[in-house]
Amino acid sequence: GTQAQTFEQMTAAAITGLKPEQVQIHTTFLGGGFGRRAVPSSDWVNEAVHVAKAAAAPVKTVWTREDDVRGGYYRPAFLHRVRVALGDDGLPAAWDHAMVGQSIMTGTPFEASFAKTGVDPSSVEGVADSPYLKAIANHRVQLHDYRAPVPVLWWRSVGHSHTAFVMESMIDELARASGVDPVAYRRRLLADQPRHLGVLNLAAEKAGWGSPLPEGRARGVAVHESFGSFVAQVAEVSVEGGRIRVHRVVCAIDCGIAVNPKTIEAQMESGIAFGLGAALSSAITFKDGRVQQSNFDDYRVLRLPDMPKVEVHIVPSRERPGGVGEPGTPPIAPAVANAVAALTGQRLREMPLRLRA
C-alpha cells in the first residue's frame, strides 16, 4: 500500500525514463500506513523499480522485518522543559515551555512551507495552539531545531504524539500541586472551551470518575485536540509484577458530524492500541549509528494479552467533520501516566513508561 501515489509515480518515471502518466499505481487497501508509506523519497518503490529495471522483468521486492526496523524512518526524539508558576487560585499564571527535537519536514518538499518562519508547525502542534496556553497571558513557547543523521518522518498523530503527553501530564501535576481533582481542574481551565469540556465530561461520566475501584487500581485522564477532533480518555491501570497493566480505557470523541460511527469506533480502538504500545514498550535505540532492535522480539509492540477493554462514546455534533485516524493516539500515554502517578506516586516523564524500583 501507499499513502503518496504522486511521489511513487514520479520516482518510477525518473528511474525508467517514462513520463509520469505512463506509470500506473495500483492502490491497495493500506491496512496500516502510519506515515511510513508516505515517504517523499519513495525508498521502497525506488528499490523495487531499480531491481525490476536491472532484471528486465517483473520483480516482487520484499523487505524483511529486520530491514524494516533498521532501515525505516522514525518518530523524532523530543525533549521538553516546562516551568509553570501557579497563582493564588491554583491556576497557571505563567508558563515557559522549551522543546528540542528534529524537524520531520527538513529535507522534504514541504520544508519550503515553513522556511520564512523557521518553525516546523508539526514540531510545536499541541503546545503552541493549546487552549491552556491561550488562557495564560504570560506564556512562552520555544523550539530548538536539533539536526541529527537519524532519518525521521511522520508517525501516527505526528507532533501531537509527544506534545499531548507533556501537556496533559503537566496539567495533572498542576492539579495535584493545587490539591484539586484532575477532572475538576481541567473543567476550570477549559470552562470556555465547550468541545474540550464536552468530551472530558462524557469520558469522566462513562468511566465512573470518582467512584471506588478495586484495590490496586487507579484512573488517569487526558483530553487533547488534534486534526480537527477533540478526544478525552480515562485509563484504568494497575501494576502487576513491576509492569504497568491497563485494564480499561473509556474514550469520548467529538469529531463533528459522525458519518460512520463504526469507523470512528474502530479508529479510536486502533489509535489507542497503537499509542499504548509506544507508551508501554516500543522503543528504537541507536548505538554507533545503528538501530539496536531488529524484530518483534526486541521491538515489542502491544500484544493481545496487553490490550485493555476499550469503550468509545461519540459526542453528537453538527460541526464540520474532523479526523478520526490519528486523534485517538495522543491522549492514551498521558492518561496512563496520570493513572500510574495516582496509583504509585511516581511521575513518569519519559516514554516508554518505566516504573522505578
User: Mean pLDDT in each 10-residue stretch from start to end of the chain (357 residues)?
Assistant: 90 96 88 82 92 96 94 94 97 98 88 81 96 96 92 94 98 98 98 98 98 98 98 98 97 97 97 97 94 96 96 97 97 98 97 94
Task: Read off φ and ψ for residue 79, nearest 5 degrees.
Answer: -120, 130
pLDDT in tens, 289-301: 999 999 999 999 9
> CA 134, CA 130: separation in Å to the nearest integer?
6
pLDDT at 31: 67
pLDDT at 357: 82
pLDDT in tens, 242-260: 999 999 999 999 999 999 9
User: What is each CA distance from 329 to 163, 199, 309, 332, 355, in whole angstroms?
Assistant: 12, 15, 16, 6, 22
| Cβ atoms of residues 221 and 234 within 8 Å | yes
pLDDT at 37: 85
Other C-beta atoms within 10 Å of 65: how many? Answer: 12
Residue closest to 92 by CA, chosen among 141, 134, 136, 128: 136
pLDDT at 283: 95
DSSP letter at 25 equals P
pLDDT at 36: 86
CA distance between the termini of the chain: 43
Classify burial at 191, counting beta carbons within 10 Å of its beta carbon; exposed 0-12, middle 13-18, buried 19 or more.
exposed
